[in-house]
Amino acid sequence: MRTLAELERIASACVLCPLAETRSRVVFGTGNPKAELMLVGEAPGRREDATGIPFVGQAGMLLDRTLEKVGLRREEIYIANVLKCRPPGNRDPLKEEIDICRPFLDEQIAIIAPRVLAPMGNHAANLFSSKRLSITKAHGTMFSYKGIAVIPIYHPAAILYNRTLEPALVDDFQEIVRFLRSGARAAREADQLSLF
């Protein structure tokens, strides 16, 4: 198995889709390579494209504050996106782009081997479920993906547009922390488990 550094070098040279022509930098991922919690966003934004670091804009600041509220630090977790390059104008990821970039994310997950995956938003959540998920209904529920507990949460950018969702994001993170502290693991055969 490759290391994260080796995989990042390969991703940084990727030209498999047109996003390579418009990106400033590949935004591979950041954090603890042995993290128990891995957050998965949808795609880099303008600030992330400029710095090469996921979640450094306004959504990232909100994410940092939320992590602090539940007793987590960014250094303890790993953060990546479905897409490693910014879509022009921050548009939604296209299916073809997701399909091309997915192997990078799959390999990141395999290397890190987190106990919990927390996909943020619809595009990320739907990567890990055979059912079509709506984040409004799926947030805070738990299901298994390859033996990893998946707990979808609202994307922090959604909170910036609708502050009434913020308590749900904090609650979902609190449930993630409780699950991590319990020492439990997701059952491989589990289909859908509720945390509430």
In the structure encoding, which two tokens stand for residue 64, read together? 């940092």
Rounded CA gap, 118 and 147, in Å? 14
Amino acid symbol at 153? I
List residues bridging with 78 in a β-sheet: 31, 38
3-state secondary structure of 153: strand
Return the structure tokens found at 87.
């879509």
Fold of 4-194: Uracil-DNA Glycosylase, subunit E (3.40.470)
| Residue 189 exposed, middle or buried by CB count within 10 Å (0-12, 13-18, 19+) | exposed
Give dist(CA 33, CA 171) in Å, integer.
25
Closest by CA to 58, choosing from 158, 135, 140, is: 158
Residue 76 main-chain phi, psi, to 5 deg: -85, -25
What does DSSP assign to residue 185?
-
Q: What pTM, to 2 d.p., does this model score?
A: 0.92
The residue ranges of DSSP E strands in the chain, in sequence order, are 30-31, 37-41, 78-81, 116-119, 141-145, 148-150, 193-194
How does pLDDT run along the chain (196 residues), one tens digit per residue?
A: 899 999 999 999 999 999 999 999 999 999 999 999 999 999 999 999 999 999 999 999 999 999 999 999 999 999 999 999 999 998 999 999 999 999 999 999 999 999 999 999 999 999 999 889 899 999 999 999 999 999 999 999 999 999 999 999 999 999 999 999 998 888 664 444 444 3
- Alpha-carbon distance of 121 to 83, in angstroms, equals 13
Report domain extents, the chain. Answer: 4-194
Strands 37-41 and 116-119: parallel
